[in-house]
Structure formats: C-alpha cells, structure tokens
Amino acid sequence: IAGITQAPTSQILAAGRRMTLRCTQDMRHNAMYWYRQDLGLGLRLIHYSNTAGTTGKGEVPDGYSVSRANTDDFPLTLASAVPSQTSVYFCASSEGVAATDTQYFGPGTRLTVL
C-alpha cells in the first residue's frame, strides 16, 4: 500500500512559470489537503477538499488553485510562481471530516522559485 504519493520530489522553477504539484492517494479517503511548511511557521493549510468535486480555501490560498475531479487525485497549481512560494509542500488525506479522523501525509515536494 503506497498511501500518499507526491510528485515531483523537488523542483527548481523560474518566477512567472506555471507549475502543478501532483498528489495521489490509494486509501479511498474522502478528504484531501495541501499544506506548505516554512521554517519557523509550522505547516499552514492552503486548500482542502472534503469530497470529490468540492474544494475550499485554507489559511493561505492566494496564488494557488486546486481541483478534485476524482477521489484519488488532488493537484495543486501555481499559475505564476513567485519567490515567496518557495517552500516544502505536503499533501494529506483523511477518511472523512469527523473530529476523530486522522490526517495522513505524503513525503512532500520541495519547491524553489528563483
């Protein structure tokens, strides 16, 4: 069982370029999430999806978009990357949105925007 996979593992990107970070889970979880991790700030929620076909904004959504066409995939797109989007990005999923549902995290994508 792979759990959550993310691609690419790392990427260096020129400012202004478009980039899509991929996330796939094989646990048939209903809910999925995107976080960014920055030194000294912990993890912050970018976007989330409670179920396929729905998405919502997290704490820091500006400059990012997501889609949830099916249960397994939850891509994150940077339409025009800026250096402040340099970060480590983690995808997560949970079975549902109950208070007892644990979020499981992928290995992360390290993105550098120059």
Note the residues at the interface with another protein (CB under 8 A): 4, 31, 33, 35, 40-45, 48, 50, 56, 58, 90, 92, 94, 96-108
Nearer to another protein, 18 or 57 (CB): 57
Residue 49 structure tokens: 């999806």
Nearer to another protein, 28 or 40 (CB): 40
Cβ at position 9, least distance to another protein in Å: 10
End-to-end CA distance of the chain: 36
Nearer to another protein, 16 or 107 (CB): 107
Cβ at position 109, least distance to another protein in Å: 10
Q: How far apart are CA 57 and CA 66, in angstroms?
A: 9
Decide if 27 contacts 104 (C-beta within 8 A): yes
Nearer to another protein, 14 or 40 (CB): 40
